[in-house]
Structure 1
Amino acid sequence: MIARVTVILCALALASAGVVQLGHGYAGESYGHEAVAYAPVAHYGGHEDTHVDYHAHPKYDYSYSVSDPHTGDHKTQHEVRDGDVVKGEYSLLQPDGSFRKVTYTADDHNGFNAVVHNTAPAHHEYH
């Protein structure tokens, strides 16, 4: 999961900086059980005077969610970046029925910090 999130975040950071453009669909699009981040190289149509600012201020607001009752796949993610400050959270329904929510922040001063909250599996009483 962390590797998938890292790939998606890297693709978004590169797109935010103007290094790549996101392809058709959107980063984090889910096919089956794999998240796919599209980040093809930007095409400039032969213009040699096109300037790409590799030092632009990175800023984005990203969200996605999946709710599939057929497979039981339920998850969400939201992240905001403004410069070197990143804040976000993701949640998912785990296979045992428990719910996990992770809230995280990252910046140059404090590094990466995450708080994980788990709730017990929901049990239904039958009468």
Structure 2
Amino acid sequence: MAYKIVMTLAMLAVAQAAVLRTVAPVAVAPAPVLAKTVELEEVDPHPQYSYSYDVQDTLSGDSKGHVEERDGDVVRGEYSLIDADGFRRTVTYTADSINGFNAVVRREPLVAVAEPLVKAAPVAVAAPLVRSAPVAVAAPVAPVVRAAPLAVAAPLVRSAPLAVTAPLVRSAPLAVAPAPVAFAAPLRYTAPAYAVRNL
């Protein structure tokens, strides 16, 4: 079905192109040329900057920081964060036009947290419990009928201990001679006899 639709649309496009070629060309006014002057920005031949940030949120446990400085084509920096497995990842990096980007990654376990990550709210003390009226006891329930005990097989009887015979004495190895092999008389095969008659 899709093939038929595509073919129909292609045929319509070809027919429309043929019709447009036969119609006299219409004069179209050229679009006005917009001229815009572009002001070139001056490029600092020796860019320099430095920034840093540090986040230590004890409520959410978020702890991260970043320090970076640039002097010309050389960029140096370091950032750290706490991974999901509880290790602090620290990445120290440098980048320049000769050596490219180089980073050293260190992972260190967190030793001890000075403060708990989440502080618990103070515990509210409830008012003392008030005894209520005694609970009415319902009528006794019909006794539970127990099934007959399972049949238990007779207990296992221990047998008398096994008698221990005299200790085994190691004897000289047995000499085993190979038994003589007897061959039967060879079989004789005789081919069946056929009588040939000439007719």
Contact preservation (8 Å) 1:96, 1:121: no
> TM-score, normalising length from structure 1?
0.53
Alignment of 1:96 with 2:96, yes or no, is: no
Given the two structures, how large is their TM-score scaled by the length of structure 2?
0.35
Which protein has greater RCO, CA pairs closer than 8 Å, 6+ apart?
Answer: 1
Given candidates 47, 60, 68, the residue that maps to 1:58 is: 47
Contact 1:79 1:87 in 2 (8 A): yes
Distance 1:110 1:66 in 2: 31
CA distance in 2, matches of 1:87, 1:121: 25
Counterpart AA for 2:72: G
Aligned-pair identity (%): 52
- Structure 2 residue 66 is matched with structure 1 residue 77: yes
| Bigger radius of gyration | 2
CA distance in 1, matches of 2:42, 2:50: 20
Provide the aligned C-alpha RMSD in A.
2.1
Mapped contact 1:98–1:122 kept (Cα < 8 A): no
- Runs of 5+ unmatched residues, structure 1: 1-49
Q: Read off the aligned partner of 1:108 and give its amino acid letter.
A: S
Within a 5 Å distance, the mapping from 1:32-71 to structure 2 comes to: 52-71=41-60
Equivalent pairs counted in the alignment come to 76
Give the secondary-structure state (helix, strand or coil) at the position aligned to 1:96: coil
For residues 63 and 55 of structure 1, the distance between their equivalents in structure 2, rounded to whole angstroms, comes to 22
Q: Whole-Å Cα distance in 2 between the matches of residues 60 and 83 of structure 1? A: 9
Following TM superposition, the consecutive aligned residue runs of length 4 or more in structure 1 with deviations greater than 4 angstroms are: none
Would you tell me which structure has more strand in proportion to its own residues? 1
Deviations 1:26-63 (Å, cap 9, x if unpaired)? xxxxxxxxxxxxxxxxxxxxxxxx98422442100110
CA contact under 8 A between 1:77 and 1:88: conserved in structure 2? yes
